[in-house]
Chains A and B, each alone.
Chain A
Amino acid sequence: MPPVLRDAHDTQQLGRYFAGLWGRRSYAWYVAVSELRSRQITSRLGNVWHLLNPILQVLVYWVIFGLLVDGVARGVENYVLFLAIGVFVYLDFQRAAIAGANSIQNNKGLIRSLHFPRAIVPITAVITESLATVPSVLVVYATAVLTGAPLRWTWLLLPLVFVFQFFLNVGSALIAARTSTHFSDFNQILPFIFRLGLYVSGVLFAVESFASESQLRLFEINPAYCFIEIARWSIMGGELKAAWLVSVTLWLGALPLVALLWFRKGEELYGRD
């Protein structure tokens, strides 16, 4: 049965768009795996940098705020572990958004030559980054063991944090991808946004030791802060606040879908000069 005549410019119906994305799952997997493989080839340490970079960051912050500057590590028992969880979870957000912002430009040739649901491009970028992040879970466990943190059953929940984070990352990557097609300068600004975000996500210090009760409410709006705190709870114990879970649930419910709808609205924009 031949297909019907259809407007070439109609954005596909949402259902067909989803089906198109699902039909490209082997594409996404293939590209993610071969991208990681080619990183391994082009740089001597290859994907090790994906781990080495955050480990070095943790060391730098630990030397500065744990040893040299007094007061930042206030109220934290195991500051190295505290930092390691914060840095690894936060970097996962940062890398996904930056990869999303660059993805359209990096895949220009593909986008110009073939017709397919463009959202697969930023989504594939997030899958690539997420695969590269898998070993960081092990680094967090290793840090916990080496710093003598007591074993808890909740350690098993840490991978789940990253799984949920993946869906949020898909949302932010889609938004970053479309934004960067409107403003090419966005890719330059993005690292600074994340630099700023580092301080309002409680990566370096325990927010509750510094913020008032009303300020804490503002922090709880920030999904990065909530994800970091939930990850810390799973490894270091303490109180699991309902506000974090509510915030994370609302973000997960809204962001990926809203981002996909907004990205799809700009379907014709991608791949142009």
Chain B
Amino acid sequence: MAETETDASVVVDGLHVKYHVRAEGNHLASPLAGRGLRRRHLLEVHALRDINLRFDTGEVVGVVGANGSGKSSLLRCIAGLQARTAGRVLVRGEARLLGVQAALKPRLSGYHNVILGGLAMGLSRTEVDERLPEVVSFSGVGDAIWRPMETYSSGMRARVAFSIATMRSPEVLLLDEALAVGDRAFRDRSIGRIASMQDQARTVVMVSHNLDEIRRACSRAVWIDEGCVRLDGPASEVLDAYTSLSAG
């Protein structure tokens, strides 16, 4: 079985995700619409169908696919944040997901958010204080670190969030468009940090629409299409196939 394989850090085995969302009914089609009543439907969304994947320690894997293809659902499942319908997800150690809108407490300053994030990850106060200067300088937001995070631009928010998430590197780091809004300098530094995590035998899985970013950071790529794995292999091959399809 998969769990005996020593190098695997993530094993996804026959994963299905179906969920129900409450959606407003179609006003025109609903007979009650005229009386101001809206029917609420339970809409079934089949996000992932029979996904089988294995990521090894020290691998940096890019995940590509169209919007709504199930990339984020896959990452949320690996992070244990999304309920699955069938199948298994095994993770060695902690899997941390970093998304786009990640201010922990928008009304507190970036500085407070760093402390809060470190403590919530289970660091002690002394450990947080030790890492604080390095984390703040890595984020590169300067004096803005003292301003409430709700006043940050999306790029600054992403910088602080990435710095928090990597202040104690998890065994598996999942990035969901986490670098998308950062500027060139920040992206370069982040990719440098991802590479150093790879050296420490961590696993990084990144979802991105920036194919150049994936080409630079990843050796392997997975193409998700309508909830299924369409292609899985060396990054260059998968990206070529993906681009040729979107171009054609």
Contacts and interface: CB of A to CB of B under 8 A. Distances in A.
Which of the four size classes fits the interface of chain A? 20 to 34
Nearest to B118: A27
- Residue of A3, A109, A268 ringed by the most chain B CB atoms within 10 A: A109
B122 A116 contact: yes
Interface string B95-123: 11111011111111000100111011110
Contacts of A152: none
Interface size class of B (residues with CB under 8 A): 35 or more
Nearest to A26: B125
Contact of A6 (B92, B99, B104): B92
Given A110-B120, A114-B120, A8 B78 contact: yes
A9 B80 contact: yes
A190 interface: no
Contacts of B231: none
Contacts, number: 105
Contacts of A107: 105
A7 B11 CA distance: 9
Contacts of A30: 115-116, 119, 125
A115 B91 contact: no
A6 B124 CA distance: 25
A247 B122 CA distance: 36
Interface stretch (B25-33, B40-48, B82-90): B82-90
B3 interface: yes
Contact of B106 (A20, A38, A109, A116): A109
A8 B83 CA distance: 10
B165 interface: yes
A115 B80 contact: yes
A69 interface: no
B171 interface: yes
The 5 residue pairs across chains A and B that have the minimum distance between CB atoms: A27-B119, A8-B80, A3-B93, A5-B90, A8-B89
Interface of B: 2-3, 8-9, 11, 57, 77-84, 88-99, 101-108, 112, 115-117, 119-122, 124-125, 161, 164-165, 171, 201
21 contacts: A2-B171, A3-B171, A4-B92, A5-B91, A8-B91, A8-B95, A23-B122, A26-B124, A27-B116, A31-B116, A38-B108, A112-B102, A113-B117, A113-B161, A113-B164, A114-B120, A114-B165, A115-B80, A115-B96, A115-B97, A268-B81
